[in-house]
C-alpha cells in the first residue's frame, strides 16, 4: 500500500474478474451531468469542474503505478466508500496484458495492506 503524489492510495492486485457493486466510469460521469438536469445553466460549470477533478485524480493516479502499461481490458470501474458525512469514490482498472488490477482510493484500504502501487 502506498500513498500516491495526488493524495490517493494505490494498490496492485492479481486479476479480478467480477466487479459487483461497481459502476462503469462513463455511467458515473453521466450521473454527474444529469444531477439536477432540470436546471439548465445553474451549476453546470461546477459539474464540469468536478468531472475535470475526477479525471485528473484518475489519470495522475494511474501514472503512478510502476507496472501500468496504459491498456484496459474493460471499462474503468467506480466504487464508493462511506465516510462520516459523505461518500468518496475510488477507481478500479484492469489491465489487458495479464489482467492485473489496479485500485485507486482516497481512503486507505487496510484490508489490501501489503499490496502496493509499486
pLDDT tens across the length of the chain (118 residues): 466 666 788 888 888 889 999 999 888 888 877 765 544 445 566 767 777 777 777 777 777 777 777 778 888 899 998 888 888 888 898 888 778 888 888 888 888 866 554 4
Query: What pLDDT was estimated at residue 73?
Result: 82
What contacts 20, CB < 8 A, 6 or more positions away?
none
Query: What pLDDT was estimated at residue 3?
Result: 65
pTM: 0.78
E strands along 14-84, which residues? 23-24, 77-82
For the chain, the domain total comes to 1
Residue 10 lies in a domain: yes
Residue 118 lies in a domain: no
Query: What pLDDT was estimated at residue 23?
Result: 92
For the chain, the maximum distance between any two Cα atoms, rounded to a whole number of angstroms, is 47
Residue 117 lies in a domain: no
Residue 44 lies in a domain: yes
Segments forming the whole domain that contains residue 17: 2-112
Amino acid at each position: 500500500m502506498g500513498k500516491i503524489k495526488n493524495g490517493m492510495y494505490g494498490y496492485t492486485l492479481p486479476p479480478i474478474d467480477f466487479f459487483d457493486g461497481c459502476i462503469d466510469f462513463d455511467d458515473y460521469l453521466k450521473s454527474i451531468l444529469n444531477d439536477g438536469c432540470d436546471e439548465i445553466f445553474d451549476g453546470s460549470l461546477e459539474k464540469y469542474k468536478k468531472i475535470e477533478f475526477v479525471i485528473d485524480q484518475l489519470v495522475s493516479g494511474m501514472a503512478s503505478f510502476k507496472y501500468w502499461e496504459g491498456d484496459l481490458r474493460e471499462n474503468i470501474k467506480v466504487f464508493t466508500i462511506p465516510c462520516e458525512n459523505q461518500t468518496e469514490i475510488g477507481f478500479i482498472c484492469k489491465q489487458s496484458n495479464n489482467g492485473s488490477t489496479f485500485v485507486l482510493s482516497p481512503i486507505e484500504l487496510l484490508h489490501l495492506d501489503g499490496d502496493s502501487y509499486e
